[in-house]
Amino acid sequence: MAKTQNLTFDRYEKDTPQHLIDQALAGAKHTPYWLDTDERPAASDALHGSIETDLLIVGGGYTGLWTALQAKERDPQRQVVLIEGQRIGWAASGRNGGFCEYSLVHGESNGENHLPEENAHLTELGMQNMAELRETFQRYDMDVELETAGALSVATEPHQVDWLREEDGFLNADATRKLINSPDFLAGARDYAGTMLVNPAKLAWELARVCRELGVEIYEYTHAEDLQDNDGELKVLTPNGQVTAQHIALATNVFPSLLKRHRLFTLPLYDYALMTEPLTEEQRAAIGWDEMIGLSDLNNRFHYSRPTIDENGDFRILWGGYDAIYHFNGEVRSEYDVRQETFDKLVAHFYGTFPQLKGIKFSHAWGGAIDTCSRFFSFFDVSHRGRVAYSAGYTGLGVGATRFGAKVMLDLLSGEDTELTQLELVKKKPIPFPPEPAAWLGVQVMMREMIRADRNQGKRSLFLRTMDKIGMGFDS
C-alpha cells in the first residue's frame, strides 16, 4: 500500500512528544477565537409578551440573518421579526473558518454526483451569489475583514498531484511552496474567484446591524419552543411570550426543527479548530504566507487553514478540520465543543506540516456542530399551506450558500414559481438518515471507509461506490 497523507499524519501524531503538545495548548481558551473580542456587540433583549408580524424568522445565524435582510430589501414596509435562542452568531456562524465559497453543492464533483443535469447552472448561480455578496458588503459598508486573494488546494500525496493537474490554476511543488512553504506540499491549484475569506463572527454581527437599520426587530435569548397552527393562525411560542406571524422561515440548521418531519434529514457533526498565537516576522518569513489566501488539502479527512490579522495587527494562522465527530442520538451539547484528543492531533499535524513553526503556541482551541445531510448541501421544504419555509443541511459550506438559501426561502414563501423554486436542488430532498442505532453505526462505517480510501490512493471501496450510487456518498 502506498504511503498516504493519513499515514503521514499517523506518524506526526506518534513522533510529536506529548509534552510539546501540552506546552502548545497550555493556556489555550476554549472560546472560539472570533467571539473572544471586545468588539462583540451587546445582546438585544429577549422577547416578553405577545407580538404580531408578517414574517417571523427563527434562528440568528447566517441563514436567518440573510433571510431578514433580503426580506426588507424586497419590501421595506414588510414587518420582520427574528428570534434567536442564544446570541447572534454564537453557534456555527461564529465558529467556522470564514471560507466564503461559490459552490452551492459542496464542490463540483459532489454536485455532479447528485444533480448532474443542473450542476453547471448551479455553478453560475453560485458565482452570481458571490458577486451579490460582495456588492452587499460594499453597499452597507460592512466590516467583515474581507479578503479576496482566493484559496489554495494542495496535494500532499503523489496520486493527488494528478487530480490537481485537471484543475485551472495548477502549480507545481516549487510554485506551491513559494505561496505557502511546507515540505508536504507536492502541488497546488490556486482558485482566485471562487473563494473569499471573512471574519465569520463579524459577518453575523454586521448582518444583524444592517437588519436592525432596515427595521428588523431582533430578540436574542428567545428560544422557539413550539409552532402552533390554530385554524390558520400561526404562532411560535417562546419561554416568555409568543409571536403570531403570517409567514415563518425556519433557520435553525443544526438544532432540531420545529417541524418533526425534518428530524431525520440532518445530523450534527462536530468540527474543531485551533488559532496560533501571533507569528514573529521570522516565523512568517519561514512559511512565506505573504498573501491572505485560504488553504486546504484533498483528503476525505481534510485540514483547512487560513491567515488572519488580529486586533493588534499581528498575523495568526487558523488550523482546523480532520476529525468529524458524531455523537449517538445526534446530541448537541456545549461540552462537546471541547475534545482534547482532537486538539492534540491538530497540534501534531500542524507541527508536522510546518516544521519551521514547531514550538509555536495556540491561543484558542474550540469546536462546534455543523448540520450535515446525506447529500452534503442544503435542502428546502414548505408546510402549512406554503406559509412556513425551511432550509438546512449546509454541511460546513454555509458562509456563502446561506445567502442563496435565504433567497430560495423567500421565493417559496411568496407562493410564486420562480427560477429558484423550480430548481431540482430545491424540489428534491436528500435521503433521510435512519433512526438510531442505525444512524450512529452508519456514520462510523462511512468514516472508516473514507479513511480507508485516503490510505489507498483515494480508491473508493465497494461500500463508498454503493453509497455514491444511491445518493448518500461524498467525494471531497
Mean per-residue pLDDT pooled into runs of 10, the chain (476 residues): 52 90 97 97 97 98 98 98 97 97 93 94 98 98 98 94 92 98 97 96 98 98 97 96 98 93 93 98 96 94 96 97 93 95 97 96 97 95 97 95 98 97 97 93 86 80 80 62
Closest CA to 418 of 74, 103, 120, 132: 74
For 247-264, letters b (16+ CB in 10 Å) and e give: bbbbbbbbbebbeeebeb
The predicted pLDDT at position 422 comes to: 98
For residues 408 and 126, give the distance between their C-alpha atoms in angstroms, rounded to a whole number: 13
Closest CA to 300 of 450, 444, 107: 450
Closest CA to 345 of 8, 9, 7: 9
The predicted pLDDT at position 472 comes to: 73
The predicted pLDDT at position 7 comes to: 65
For residues 434 and 246, give the distance between their C-alpha atoms in angstroms, rounded to a whole number: 34
The predicted pLDDT at position 8 comes to: 67
List of residues 6+ apart from 368 with CB closer than 8 A: 32, 91, 92, 95, 96, 270, 271, 337
- Model confidence pLDDT, tens digit, residues 347-376: 999 999 999 999 999 999 999 999 999 999
Q: In the chain, what are the domains?
A: 5-30+267-372 (3.30.9), 49-142+198-266+374-433 (3.50.50.60)
Cβ–Cβ < 8 Å for 408, 109: no
Give me the sign of the Cα torsion angle 298, 303, 304, 310.
Answer: negative
Count Cα atoms within 13 angstroms, Cβ side, for 178: 7
- Model confidence pLDDT, tens digit, residues 315-354: 999 999 999 999 999 999 999 999 999 999 999 999 999 9
The predicted pLDDT at position 474 comes to: 58
For residues 392 and 44, give the distance between their C-alpha atoms in angstroms, rounded to a whole number: 25
Closest CA to 177 of 95, 48, 289, 254: 289
The one-letter amino acid code at 468 reads D
For residues 413 and 423, give the distance between their C-alpha atoms in angstroms, rounded to a whole number: 15
Q: In what order do the strands lie in the sheet with 151-155?
A: 170-171, 187-191, 151-155, 294-297, 303-309, 315-321, 267-276, 362-372
